[in-house]
Amino acid sequence: MKHFLSAVALLCAASSTSAAEQSVFNGEWVLDLSSAQLSNKPFTVTVKDGQFTCDSCVPSYTIPADGAFHPVARQTSLDEASVTIIDPRTMRMVERLRGRVVHDETDVASPDGATLTYTVVIGGASSGKTTKETGVQVRTGTADPAAHLTSGAWRTTSIADPSSEKTRFTITVNGNVMSQRNSTGQSFAATIGGGFVPISGTDIPGEVSVTRDGPRTLIETFRRQGQIGIVRTLTVLADGKTLAISNDNKLLGSVDRLTAHKS
């Protein structure tokens, strides 16, 4: 499934200097998950006849839902996955990259199949630290009576971050350099208006570039294996204490928005 906080995976930290202190971006920020405006575009999976298909993945893929790990080709964040049918309403999916777990998710559909609750542990940090996200999704369209109850098109309506690892972050802009580090150790230092730079501290290789759109807006473009994934826009509002965040997922064609507040 597509999850919100995994798309907010690299929000920031760096050391401060007297020049950097002048930036409206600098300081510790706390994500306000209650402010999230989630995309209406559903994420679709098919679990039927002993097979699991990630229809919305780019590109889509199919593996047996037999609890064993199977190779997954042409994905930038995993190279094998396993899907286990636990009971008629529950499914577990584990994704690995080069032998390390990057995604461990359990989905539980309601008895009527109208809603789904997921819990996912997100890995991928070289430090070994993980974060945990939970959420609720609603079904769009009609359930296939011949498929597993978790099968179908799902739209996320609420999210939470029980680990709180990704709800606090710090931004520092020093001159024309934006340096970032999140709580699990991923980091980069990018020249604003420069080219792509590698993200370090992650098992999932990626790059980012940063541009400026006025004195209060920075735009981060993330890519993997040359493919643009997310374009994130960060705008400090007039009060200087609110940060508007927009995550434009170019692969899924969805946009999520939320705010953070300076602590």
Q: Write out pLDDT tens, residues 216-263.
A: 999 999 999 899 999 999 999 999 999 999 999 998 899 999 999 998
Candidates 233, 167, 163; CA nearest to 31 is 167
- Is cis: bond before 59, omega within 30 of 0? yes
Q: pLDDT confidence of 20, banded at 50, 70, 90?
A: very low
The 10s digit of each residue's pLDDT in 113-130 is 999 999 999 998 888 888
The two structure tokens encoding residue 60: 């889509």
Q: How far is CA 226 from CA 23, 198, 222, 229, in A?
A: 31, 12, 10, 9
The two structure tokens encoding residue 14: 């760096």
What is the DSSP secondary structure assignment for residue 21, as one 8-state letter? G
The two structure tokens encoding residue 247: 């995550």
Count other C-beta atoms under 10 Å from residue 69's C-beta.
16
User: Any residues with CB less than 8 A from the CB of 121 and at least 6 apart, and which?
Assistant: 101, 103, 104, 105, 130, 131, 132
Quick one: how many helices (H) and strands (E) in the chain? 1, 20
42 pLDDT more than 60: yes
The two structure tokens encoding residue 88: 């008629």
CA–CA distance, 211 with 48 (Å, rounded to integer) = 44
Question: What value does the mean pLDDT take over residues 144-172?
Answer: 85
